[in-house]
Amino acid sequence: MKPLLLLQLLFFSYSVPEIAYSSPACNFPAIINFGDSNSDTGGLSATFGPTPPPYGETFFHMPAGRYSDGRLIIDFIAKSFGHPFLSSYLDSLGTNYSHGVNLATAASTIIDQITSLAQGGYSPFFLAVQVMQFSQFISRSQLVAKRGRFFESLMPKKEYFNQSLYTIDIGQNDITAGLDAGKTYDEFIPQTLSAFSGDVKRMYALGARYFWIHNTGPLGCLAYVLLRRNLTVAGELDSAGCSVFYNKAAQQFNKKLNETLVEMRKELPLAVITYVDIYSAKYSLFLEPAKYGFEDPLRVCCGYGGGKYNFDYNIRCGGTATVNGSEVLLGRSCRQPSKKVVWDGVHYTDAANKVVFDLISTGRFSHPPRPLKWACKGDIV
């Protein structure tokens, strides 16, 4: 996308006023979330081992199952409705599902990539599996609730399932998997979005009515993909220093996702579907970092190796090495995470996630331009 066109799009996003309704804001009693590491609050950590320090240091002051130094966008969404942070479906310790559940798992994809974590870095909990887990959760939570008042207090009420806000943030890993396999857009995007459409329709059949669906972010601005490209080639980087190759793929995916949702609104007449342009909100942090209080936006906060990106594939955030018989932390956090956009080369900082939440919750980055607090209102198109 040309810089001038992008700036025009960003200006348009900022200039769209927040929609006002005469009726009260939505009162979602619970939030049901599906996705990957952008919204995983402990799924992969509970399954394959915890994230190491310094993950979680800024807000939780300890690793908290999140791939950030603190909160994720889904955490800010939950708190905006007065709910506690969502417990992961896969976490068996200290969980409370009274106000919803998080099915998201880091490294997840929409389509099963038929590869293990060790081989390809992809989670076995692809979106269709998350939907199956949710189906199980509906029936099992109601059975558990019948065991007594204490158990009932930890489970959502039956009527919550068609009153909840259903949030979805997934697709980034499908894009990198397709590109890394040398596929063209037409070879993986239609198939991926066909599967996505089917999964959302299954959620609808299970009672979901209110959808808040994020498109995929500007993955070409993240160190883990930037270092896969020959950055010395003319035209490889855009004005923000991001990979044109990867961001064009994200833009194409997002275009087709929006088209898919337009069709789904026709097929699911009782659904209220909001498409959220996370791409533009996140890209604005790289394009105009000073405007939001950030500096050197492409440089990783928690990493190793210095250089332009401070990122090393072999020594990630929290990575250690044995020196003279002692374990030494090499993948350290920067001094001021609040000044950084990217946390570990793949994910965003607590501060960046808060800014992005503030941007998208207004409705200025949504289609239709529907604020988060009115995501149950279906009277605008």
Q: In Å, how far from its chain's centre is CA 110? A: 13
Residue of 88, 164, 347, 366 marked catalytic: 347
Task: Give alpha helix (H) positions in the chain.
Answer: 3-15, 43-48, 73-80, 117-120, 127-145, 149-153, 172-180, 185-205, 223-226, 244-267, 278-287, 350-360
Q: Residues of the chain with pLDDT > 70: what percent?
A: 91
Positive or negative, the CA dihedral 7, 12, 15, 16 is negative
Give burial (CB, 10 Å; 0-12/13-18/19+) of 338.
middle
pLDDT at 116: 36
Is the backbone of residue 327 left (phi > 0), alpha (psi -120 to 50) or beta?
beta
Give the integer Cα–Cα distance in Å for 113 and 115. 5
Give burial (CB, 10 Å; 0-12/13-18/19+) of 142.
middle
Confidence of residue 121 (pLDDT cuts 50, 70, 90): low
Peptide bond into 297 cis (omega under 30): no
Residue 348 above 80 pLDDT? Answer: yes
Per the prediction, the chain carries an average pLDDT of 93
Closest to 276 in 3D by CA, of 8, 13, 30, 31: 13
Residue of 13, 37, 68, 361 marked catalytic: 37
The upper half-sphere exposure of residue 333, i.e. CA atoms within 13 Å in the direction of its Cβ, equals 23
Please, what's the largest Cα pairwise distance for the chain?
A: 68
The 3-state DSSP composition of the chain as helix, strand, coil percent (nearest 5) reads 40, 10, 50
Whether 347 sits among the annotated catalytic residues: the reply is yes
What is the number of other CB atoms lying within 10 angstroms of the CB of residue 48?
14
Residue 115 above 70 pLDDT? Answer: no
Q: Residues of the chain with pLDDT > 90: what percent?
A: 88
Residue of 69, 174, 344, 350 marked catalytic: 344
Residue 27 above 70 pLDDT? Answer: yes
pLDDT at 113: 78
DSSP line for 1-66:
--HHHHHHHHHHHHHSPPP--SSPPP--S-EEEEESTTT-SSHHHHHH-PPPTTTTTTTTSS--S-
Domains of the chain: 3-374 (3.40.50.1110)
> pLDDT for 247-294, tens place per residue?
999 999 999 999 999 999 999 999 999 999 999 999 999 999 999 999
Give the integer Cα–Cα distance in Å for 212 and 328. 42
Whether 344 sits among the annotated catalytic residues: the reply is yes
Q: What is the DSSP letter of 159?
A: G
Spatial contact of 299 and 309, defined as CB atoms under 8 Å apart = yes
Whether 61 sits among the annotated catalytic residues: the reply is no
pLDDT at 24: 87
The helix (run of H) or strand (run of E) holding residue 169 is strand 165-169
